[in-house]
Amino acid sequence: MTDTLDFKLTKTAHSRLQETDFDNLPFGRTFSDHMFVADYADGEWKNFEILPYGPIAMSPAISALHYGQAFFEGIKAYKHADGTVSIFRPEKNAIRFNKSAERLCMPTLPEDIFIQSIAAVVDLDREWIPTKANHALYIRPFMFATDPYLGVTPSATYKFVVILGPVGPYFSKALRVKIETHYTRAAEGGMGYAKAAGNYGASMLPGRKAAEEGFDQLIWTDAKEHAYIEEMGAANAMFLLDGTLITAEAKDTILDGVTRDTVIALAKEWGIPVEERKVSVAEIIEGAKSGKLTDAFGAGTAATIAPVGSFSYNGEEYFLSDPKTRAFSNRVFDTLDAIKYGRTADTHGWNYIV
């Protein structure tokens, strides 16, 4: 591990901080003053730099645009009441970042460089971290191929970039979700476990169709039979069925979520049985009917803990209990919230202090 990362720093001459409306922060539309950029060429990472947030010039032939050699991460930084700034479990994202890189035949980035580059730009833009409840600084690291070459072959050059933006809650109400039985997010042998840009491009048409039908979100099912629940949009789907926390096991069609891992760790501590296994649509429907399904939510960095209000399957809608009354997901939300904002001791070492 290197202690400090050497980078060139060019500060903005025109901060946009004062003109930013922190009372109105739709997800992903507001960006902070600076960004981190590095280049990969000649087999190594170089040109580490923090500079004002802004356009990046590139060739129209870069293979990221044509063949999708591109992927991203999503992390959040929080400001505690005493001004401390923490980033939630970035070492998990560093590991996943490199899993995505390997799947897409792209170069890995040493974990310490990943974390230090993020910490450096978050530190510089710490005034951008909102202090309101449920607000955070969203961190978006990503990598893309930059060879100006139209051959279908891995690029020899890449860019690693980190941009930041203040965000409020992603979802504001319990979700009406549709269990998708036609389209597929990921298949065995595919790249569902990677945060590959192409996975999200492929999700947009099914997502739009579901929205047109009045749904807030999709639940993806397995590619073979559409009989097993895999994920909920860009969050992991988790259920409390008959007192047991169940979720799809993190295999090649599942994004191995940091929030998912965190929820599992808390459940185990609280003595709640956890099963990472195939979750059938049939047992979820059965549980909704019998009342044994006492909790259902999406778990993700952007979405945090997003309660499912109802789910539809083949035109039939099943309603769950009022999210306010759900013991498990509320306990998870409150516990995580207290850790992230530094209101309780971080006994797990989940907060990386900037």
Ligand X SMILES: *Cc1c(COP(=O)(O)O)cnc(C)c1O
Q: Which residues of the chain form contacts with ligand X (CB under 6 A)?
A: 74, 195, 231, 234-236, 255, 257-260, 299-301
Question: Smaller CB distance to ligand X: residue 207 or 300?
Answer: 300
Q: How far apart are CA 186 and CA 23, in angstroms?
A: 37
Least distance in angstroms from the C-beta of 104 to ligand X: 14
SS3 282: helix
**Closest CB to ligand X among residues 116, 304:** 304
| Residue partners of 164: CB distance under 8 A and separation at least 6 | 31, 32, 34, 35, 77, 121, 122, 125, 128, 137, 138, 139, 140
Give the nearest distance from C-beta 279 to ligand X in angstroms: 14
Which contacts (CB < 8 Å, 24+ apart) does range 197-204 have?
197/64, 197/68, 197/70, 197/71, 197/72, 197/144, 198/68, 198/70, 200/234, 201/68, 203/233, 203/234
- Choice between 32 and 199, CB closer to ligand X: 199
Q: Give least dist CB 7 to ligand X, A.
A: 26
In whole angstroms, what is the distance from residue 136 CA to residue 179 CA?
30
**In the complex, least distance from residue 21 CB atom to ligand X, rounded to whole angstroms:** 26
Closer Cβ to ligand X, 260 or 326, answer by number: 260
Q: How far is the CB of 95 from ligand X (least distance, A)?
A: 11
- Asked if residues 354 and 77 have their Cβ atoms less than 8 Å apart, the reply is yes
Tell the burial category of 65 from Cβ atoms under 10 Å away from its Cβ (0-12, 13-18, 19+): middle
Which residue's CB is nearer to ligand X, number 178 or number 195? 195
Q: How far apart are the first and last CA of the chain?
A: 16
- In the complex, the smallest distance separating the C-beta of residue 165 from ligand X, rounded to whole angstroms, is 16
How near is the Cβ of 192 to ligand X at its closest, in Å? 7
Q: Which one, 179 or 235, has the nearer CB to ligand X?
A: 235
Tokens 């591109």 correspond to 70
On whether the CB atoms of residues 13 and 104 are closer than 8 A, the answer is no
Q: Rank residues 191 and 320 by Cβ distance to ligand X and give the closer one.
A: 191
